[in-house]
Amino acid sequence: MPDETLVPPPAGTHTIGKTFDFEAGHRLGGLAPGHKCSRRHGHSYQVEVILTAPTLSGPGFVTDFGDLAPFKAFVDTELDHHDLHEILSFEPTSENLAGFLAGWFIQHVEPDLPGRLIAVRVRETTRSWARFDVERP
């Protein structure tokens, strides 16, 4: 019987994701006054960062999940239990939050990681989300 542990994986890339949670309030002032989202309300947000690497490092990681701790700290201290209008200079839609968080991650966390961010997904509810895909030169 052949040794199955010697079978190499096919060509491809590895991708990982990690989800972070925060609670926050906002309102979308650019909407019509009768629109439910124009009123102040809150969400139990979930933010997922998605990373990839062409080769694995260490014991076989795209990135050690523990190395994402600075992103968790940012979410916990800067976004959790805040009114997003008081801390952000843009309309806090899920789409805008996903782009903002991708930029923050690339600037503050990614330089110390072997993996590269490919997307950020922001979920406002169990049924709705927005995703920002990073384009690389």
The yes-or-no answer on residue 81 being catalytic is: yes
Pairing mode of beta strands 129-133, 14-26:
unpaired
Please say if 37 is a catalytic residue.
yes
Q: Choose the catalytic residue: 37, 48, 91, 95.
A: 37
Sign of CA pseudo-dihedral 129, 56, 134, 29: positive
Q: Which helix (H) or strand (E) holds 19?
A: strand 14-26
Give the whole-angstrom CA distance, residue 125 versus residue 137.
Answer: 33
Please give the Cα distance from 30 to 51 (Å, whole number).
33
Residue keyed to tokens 């789409």: 95
23, 35, 41, 81: the active-site residue: 81
124 is catalytic: yes
Please give the positions annotated as active site.
Answer: 37, 81, 124
